Structure 1
Amino acid sequence: MKKFGLLLAGGIAGVILLSTIGPMVGLLVSVVLLYFIFKQFLKTKSIGGRIGLGILGFIVLMASLHNAPAIIGVAAAYVLYLVYKNWNKRKVNKINAADDPFINFEKQWNELKNY
């Protein structure tokens, strides 16, 4: 039943990821452009250049805000990563020392054998 749930979650996340590839690429391009515009803005000494780069940066910032569905795509990619990570994970049964009376016996028996 756990594998079915993981398969269902992975399938839904895969469809969402495929449908948001365009906005993800657009967001990536606009963020890279915004980074380079900001770096050039810091280097520029002239007022006209700063005003031009500021306007260009504002336009690219607005373009990146229109790619907000890319955040849903990033979340879907993270869900796919979690499904992949938990697909073959085995359940480990830990023995609680308070519940098992034989743990102390085995420890003491090993100590007696060592003498």
Structure 2
Amino acid sequence: MKKFLLFILALIALIVLVANIGPMIFLGASLFLLYVIFKQFMKSTSTGGKVMWVILGLIVLSIAVSNLYALIGIAAAYCLYVLYKKCNNEKEITFNKPGSDDPFTNFERQWADLNK
């Protein structure tokens, strides 16, 4: 039942991620453009150039703010990552019989108890 619920959660997170992939791309592009505009603003020496970079920065900032709900898609991607890691960490540990000739059987059992 636990694996089924994890599968359902992963499926929901995948649907949310796919639905928000476009806004995530536009958010990333607009943040990159804001970085470039800021660098050009700092390099500019004329007042007219600085005003132009500020106006362009405000336009790109409005695009970034309009795609802010893409953070839901980023959260869904993180949930998918956590669920993937959780599903891959469940491993069955098998041991030899207690009366076997293997000298490391007791050590493996104690090591598994320490790691729990």
- TM-score of Structure 1 vs Structure 2, range by shorter chain: 0.7 to 0.9
Aligned to 1:22: 22
| CA apart distance, 1:2 | 1.4
The residue identity in structure 2 corresponding to 1:21 is I
Which stretches of structure 1, 4 residues or longer, exceed 4 Å deviation after superposition? none
Q: Distance in 2 between matches of 1:72 and 1:5?
A: 21
Aligned to 2:108: none
Aligned to 1:111: none
The residue identity in structure 2 corresponding to 1:47 is T
Q: TM-score, normalised by structure 1?
A: 0.77
1:1-115 to 2 correspondences below 5 Å: 1-90=1-90
| CA apart distance, 1:88 | 3.0
| CA apart distance, 1:74 | 0.1
The residue identity in structure 1 corresponding to 2:40 is Q
| CA apart distance, 1:69 | 1.6
The residue identity in structure 1 corresponding to 2:30 is S
- Listed as ranges, the gaps of 5+ residues in structure 1 are 93-115
The residue identity in structure 1 corresponding to 2:14 is G
The alignment of Structure 1 onto Structure 2 pairs a total of residues equal to: 93
Larger radius of gyration: 1
Q: Distance in 1 between matches of 2:86 and 2:79?
A: 11
> Percent of aligned positions with the same letter in both sequences?
50
Show CA shifts across 1:12-55 (max 9, x none). Answer: 00000000000000001100110000000001010000000000
| CA apart distance, 1:84 | 0.4
Q: TM-score, normalised by structure 2?
A: 0.76
